[in-house]
Amino acid sequence: EDQVTQSPEALRLQEGESSSLNCSYTVSGLRGLFWYRQDPGKGPEFLFTLYSAGEEKEKERLKATLTKKESFLHITAPKPEDSATYLCAVLFNYGQNFVFGPGTRLSVLP
């Protein structure tokens, strides 16, 4: 069974302390990998889509990268407003279902 895992489960950073979140998936043919941000009590908000190994996308303090087995979400000089749960989701070559990871809860302290 194809699975998506994320690490760490939770991460606490000081404001300005850069770090990376990981999303790993078992190989069964990747069609796309998606990153979302979810604030408490809200639905996920789309951040990035990555389609092939080596691809990178950037948005403000966030940069997403993709390899054949995993994706990283790099957060540079985070601010408290970056605190949220970050979810990744994978769309595999078969079917049309997105498989979501459990998420990483990020807290950025001022």
The verdict on whether omega for the bond into residue 8 sits within 30 degrees of 0, i.e. cis, is yes
Stretch that binds other proteins, among 11-19, 46-54, 61-69, 71-79 (CB under 8 A): 46-54
Among residue numbers 11 through 30, which ones bind other proteins (CB under 8 A)?
A: none
Under the binding rule (CB under 8 A), the answer on residue 72 touching other proteins is no
- Candidates 8, 12, 20, 51: give the one binding other proteins (CB under 8 A): 51
The nearer residue to other proteins, 17 or 98, going by C-beta atoms, is 98
Question: Nearest approach, Cβ of 36 to other proteins (angstroms)?
Answer: 8
The answer to whether the CB of 61 falls within 8 A of the CB of 74 is: no
- Please select the residue that binds other proteins; options are 73, 87, 106, 108, rule is CB under 8 A: 87
Q: Are 5 and 102 in contact (CB under 8 A)?
A: yes
Q: Does 49 bind other proteins (CB under 8 A)?
A: yes
